[in-house]
Amino acid sequence: MQPDGTPPVLELKGFSYTYLEGTPRASEAVRDVSFRIHHGERVGIVGATQSGKSTVVDSFAHLLRLGQGQVFYEGEDVADPGYDRGRLRREIGIVFQQPDSQIIEDVVGADVAFGPTAAGLSAAETRERVEESLNTLGLPYQDYRLRYVHAVSGGQRRRVAIAGVLAMHTPVLVLDEPMAGLDPRGRKELLELLIKLQRDRELTLIVCSASLTDASLLCDRFIVLDRGTVVMDGPVREILGEADRLAELDITLPEPVVGAREMQKLFPDFPTDLLTEGELESELLERLGVTT
């Protein structure tokens, strides 16, 4: 509960999950994971491959039959008999890592329209949503609506997938490795766009990644998973300050943090809670006695 009494958007309580439970190939993916995510938070769920990130995401959409633990959406247990699970689909938008896994139509406009149409919106409302979503993602509606999905670049395909989810106007947006496969310019553009989108629409944003590089600029809080359990949970800078611990987890650290750890060999008190190259530069200049 927050001070004003509103429940968290999402809460996991003692969530555990084992794939193929009861068979010889059973493998435990997550164990006793608990956390709360509040409205408007920007949370990075980070960890190496196989740390349990995707299993946690799947639990949000109730894609897994819960074994142990509970998942609450807006304070309600999603496993309760009679709980309207359609609500999860309407309110939690998930963009999976491979855009191709969620693009179903051949033509960009039709693909983005799929969700709103299926949700029962009128043709006019749907058209408006498609136009707005494509424009927001820098794929101008008039230019892109009739293009073939297979004929646009990988980065554009990812944007089409995101547009399809945005068109649903979900208050919660979950992105699994949103930057994978994008070139530096594409990453920078998508990063700026997501930051603006989150702010404008007051979205609750959840980003899953094995790399903290972009997540540290996009999120204000990290939940760090290691082999299925939560090992750290706190504000981004606080987590980055514990770079030595992070480095043991096979997570990609942001470049300024990597640089800072190297500088600790020269200046033992060099801080690691740095987000940008500029911050690293100022710390260095200070220690070199150069006035800025």
Partner 1 sequence: MIELDNVSFSYRRGEPDVVPALRNLDLKIESGQLVAIIGQNGSGKSTLVKLLTAVLYPTEGEIRIDGVPVDREHQWDVRRKVSVVFQDPDDQLIMNRVIDDVAFGPENLGLPRDEIAERVHSSVSMLGLEDIGSRLIEDLSSGQKQRVAIAGALAMSPLYLILDEPTSLLPVPVAMRLISTVRDLSLRENMGVLHVTHSMYEAVLFERVVVMDAGRVILDAPPAEVFRDVDKLREVGLDVPLAASLAHRLRARGIPIEGDILNTADLREALDAALKSSPSG
Binding site for partner 1 (CB under 8 A): 48-50, 153-155, 180-186, 210-211, 250, 252, 255-256, 258-259, 262-263, 265-266, 277, 280-281, 284-285, 288-290
State which residue, 135 or 211, has the beta carbon closest to partner 1: 211
Smaller CB distance to partner 1: residue 58 or 132? Answer: 58
Using CA of residue 100, residue 105, residue 108, residue 114, what is the dihedral sign?
negative
Distance of CA 187 to the CA centre of its chain: 14
In this structure, the dihedral spanned by the alpha carbons of residues 80, 82, 86 and 92, taken in order and rounded to 10 degrees, is -30
CB atoms < 10 A from the CB of 248, how many? 9
109-124 per-residue burial string, b: 16 or more CB within 10 A, e: under 16: bebbbbbbbebebeee
**Rounded to an integer, what distance in angstroms lies between the CA atom of residue 135 and that of residue 63?**
31
Q: Smallest Cα–Cα separation from 204: which of 4, 3, 9?
A: 9
Residues 150 and 161: their CA atoms lie apart, in Å, by 12
Whichever of 37 and 208 has its CB closer to partner 1, that residue is 208
Within a 10 A sphere around the Cβ of 228, how many other Cβ atoms?
Answer: 21
Tell the smallest beta-carbon distance from residue 195 to partner 1 (Å). 19
Residue closer to partner 1 by CB (options 186, 271) is 186
DSSP type of residue 106: S
Based on CB atoms, which residue is closest to partner 1, 118 or 290? 290
Which of 290, 209, 281 lies closest to 47 in space, CA to CA?
Answer: 209
Give the C-alpha separation, 273 to 280, whole Å.
9
Nearer Cβ to partner 1 (165/274): 274
Burial profile 270-280: b = 16 or more Cβ within 10 angstroms, e = fewer: bbbbbeeeeeb
Nearer to partner 1, 8 or 228 (CB): 228
In angstroms, give the least distance from the CB of 193 to partner 1.
16
Partners of 46 in beta bridges = 209, 224
- Minimum distance, C-beta of residue 175 to partner 1, in the bound complex (Å): 15
